[in-house]
Structure 1
Amino acid sequence: MTKEKYLLKEVISSFDFVGTLISCEPYGSGHINDTFLLEYKIRHMGVVPIILQKMNTNIFKQPIELMENILNVTAFLREKIIENNGDPERETLTVILNKQGLPFYKDSHNQYWRAYHFITCATGYDEVKCDEDFYQSALAFGKFQRLLADYPAQTLHETIPDFHNTKARFKVFKEAVEKDIYGRAKDVLTEIQFILEREDVANVLTDMQLPLRVTHNDTKLNNVLIDDKTHQGICVIDLDTVMPGLAINDFGDSIRFGASTGAEDEKDLSLIQCDMHLFEVYTKGFIEGCDGKLTDEEIKALPLGAKVMTFECGMRFLTDYLQGDTYFKIRYPEHNLDRCRTQLKLVDDMEKKWDTMNEIVSKHNK
């Protein structure tokens, strides 16, 4: 038995999974946690799937606090879903406790694991293939805001401190430029100047009095499960970065990722724009999903959320490039630089379309 299989056997035996284990295979396309799909055969019930994950403690350094967040938020969501006559088994994640009643297991190598019930007959898509999928993801993330509107956000732990503190990230960026430990700054002066000229973008949200809310902080399309039969967005997943934040940041991260006309690492910047049709599709769905739970000031600030999150992401890519590519995984030496350039191109395009973006938000703010 290999070391990995021996460890998996140890971890699996720490949970009270029901039935006979018939398969255990790596699962999904995530880059942070190691995920496995377990299948158990239960007499007269057929096959029951389980998701087992080894948590990445290099990124999430407080796994116990992280799981406390997830357990509390999903319990709150279950109550709200039941109140709305929904199906909590499909509309939120269900954490499986270990034999000691804990929402995680610490193995003999001091690694942390967790388990969820697998939500069947639903799919998470890695890219926007049609308007309806993007709209459904917007509805789902908006509903996530609506259901958690009464949750005391300040009681949540910060799973990654200052994750969307753009002002703090701007300071780190300037330090990376000044130190220039890999001698790369001379080749990216245009990108550096673009960011330095927009310090106001980095600071703008700290000067606004927007409500602190429970935020997801990784609102990509593939973090919403879409029902295979109804094609409706049914469940928001990947709750590792759920913590206190601003609703407009969740909106903005979705736009940055989903309304771009090209891939995040597209080399041909002429292909990169912020698609106003997709921007409107998402705006409509997000506002509908929130269903009146956002303040008027928050809704008016949605375009700003898109710009700030895109700017922040581009700045983070360039910071990582200057620091030697220590955070984001890369496939080639200039990967982070290509990623940075697409984000800065999107910021530039948003600035050109600023009036249009605000008109679209105003149109759906009824």
Structure 2
Amino acid sequence: MTEAQLMHTFDQFQHASSYVAFNEIASGHINDTYLIKTREEPHYILQRINHHVFKDIPGLMANKVLISEHLKHKRSDLSEKEIKNRVLTFVPARSGTYYFKDHEGHYWNVMEYIKDSITHHIVTREEVAYEGGKLSGEFLRLTSDLDASRLVEVIPHFHDMSFRFSQFEDALKVASAQRKEKARTYLLKVADLKDEMHIIQNLKASGAIKLRVTHNDTKISNALFDRNNKGLCVIDTDTVMPGVVHYDFGDAIRTICNSAAEDESNLDLVHFNVAYYNAYKSGFLEELETTLSDLEIETLPLAAKTMIFIMGIRFLTDYLNEDVYYKTKYPEHNLDRARNQFKLIESMEKQMKV
């Protein structure tokens, strides 16, 4: 994108600001995100939404705006300035919708930038894990009275274990003998864990655990902090959909508690950090405990194991499929990612009762 194109796109939204400059924010894997600096505050975040991943952009933006308006209503005890620091504020396009579609078919949205906010891509202190847990728990608590059926399911079957197993089994049927042999140890692990990894889905299907509004992408980089590492709000609400509390708890733990990058091939470096787990869980339950059932709380450790597994099986499936989904840098990149996730499960099992 040229600067002139970004300026033109930014001016398709209802702001009263004078453009000064832009910086690309390169942290995301799906959307293209830019910080738009203006002469007057606030500055803005301009984002191009990946319509190849998200097929229903109007539905996605309706979800995002609905969530923000609900959260603003729930935080009516705060001043307007405080609310803008704690809840995402979306700017409507000149057309009246909350997105702009350019002549190339790309979709854009704009939100106000939260001043002096920071993000973490890895966790190096328990206080950050704790604050991340509080933010996630607060989000779930404040949206617990919002009817989840009002949300559009922007990525169907996103955390559906049966769907992921079906993809895996289809890949296994067409995989080369060489790749199956290299992955043999992990094929056996998948088979061993199959029944256990369906427990949460079965509880959801039976109605034993509540269907609620969930964020569904709770990696630590989707939490904003102030300069003192106190939590401000969760961001990147593209994947907000109906779900269960275990999705958000487990996905956060998967990313917070791994001592190594998810594609680290030296498995000796991969450990499950129980201290970070306990810190995150403490903050999470501090915000949410009174709204959860005993069963939901009891199955939180299983949620962590399940969400680690679901990424392991997705990486393994892509390896068997000759790497058609995730970007890879070498032939066994996806297999290394899968090995990493299964080692994380093994480390967790050695240290905790799950």
Superposition map of 1:69-218 within 5 A:
69-83=63-77, 87-180=82-175, 183-208=178-203, 209-218=208-217
8 A contact 1:36–1:51 mirrored in 2 = yes
8 A contact 1:247–1:298 mirrored in 2 = yes
The answer for the alignment partner of 1:49 in structure 2 is 43
8 A contact 1:55–1:112 mirrored in 2 = yes
The answer for the alignment partner of 2:54 in structure 1 is 60
Name the SS for the 2:238 alignment partner: coil
RMSD over equivalenced CA pairs, Å = 1.7
Q: Deviations over 1:150-198 (max 9, x none)?
A: 0111221111100000121011101101111685222111111111221
Q: Deviations over 1:125-168 (max 9, x none)?
A: 10002111111111100101111110111221111100000121
Q: Deviations over 1:260-294 (max 9, x none)?
A: 22221111112222122111111111101214111
8 A contact 1:123–1:227 mirrored in 2 = yes
8 A contact 1:220–1:257 mirrored in 2 = yes
The answer for the alignment partner of 2:223 in structure 1 is 224
Name the SS for the 2:43 alignment partner: strand
Partners of 2:176 and 2:234 in 1: how far apart?
A: 40
Q: Deviations over 1:318-338 (max 9, x none)?
A: 111111222222233322111
Q: In the TM superposition, what is the alpha-carbon distance from 1:354 to its structure 2 partner?
A: 3.6
Partners of 1:57 and 1:66 in 2: how far apart?
A: 10
- For structure 2, list consecutive stretches of 5 or more residues without a partner in the other structure: none
Superposition map of 1:11-50 within 5 A:
11-42=9-40, 47-50=41-44
Partners of 1:183 and 1:94 in 2: how far apart?
A: 51
Partners of 1:283 and 1:19 in 2: how far apart?
A: 41
The answer for the alignment partner of 2:274 in structure 1 is 276
Q: Deviations over 1:213-255 (max 9, x none)?
A: 1111111111110111x42101100101110111112111111
The answer for the alignment partner of 2:350 in structure 1 is 352
Partners of 1:275 and 1:6 in 2: how far apart?
A: 46
Name the SS for the 1:344 alignment partner: helix
The answer for the alignment partner of 1:362 in structure 2 is none
Runs of 4+ aligned structure 1 residues displaced above 3 Å come to 3-7, 83-86
Q: In the TM superposition, what is the alpha-carbon distance from 1:349 to its structure 2 partner?
A: 2.4
Give me the TM-score of the superposition, normalised by structure 2. 0.94
**Equivalent AA in structure 1 for residue 28 of structure 2:** G
Q: Deviations over 1:95-151 (max 9, x none)?
A: 000112211001111110000000011101100021111111111001011111101
**Equivalent AA in structure 2 for residue 341 of structure 1:** R
The answer for the alignment partner of 1:361 in structure 2 is none
Name the SS for the 1:26 alignment partner: strand
8 A contact 1:182–1:324 mirrored in 2 = no
Name the SS for the 1:315 alignment partner: helix
Name the SS for the 1:19 alignment partner: coil
Partners of 2:328 and 2:84 in 1: how far apart?
A: 37
Same amino acid, percent of matched pairs: 36
8 A contact 1:153–1:243 mirrored in 2 = yes
8 A contact 2:26–2:32 mirrored in 1 = no
Aligned residue pairs: how many?
Answer: 349
Of 176-185 and 299-308, deviating more is 176-185
Name the SS for the 1:345 alignment partner: helix
Name the SS for the 1:244 alignment partner: strand
The answer for the alignment partner of 1:363 in structure 2 is none
Partners of 1:21 and 1:333 in 2: how far apart?
A: 44
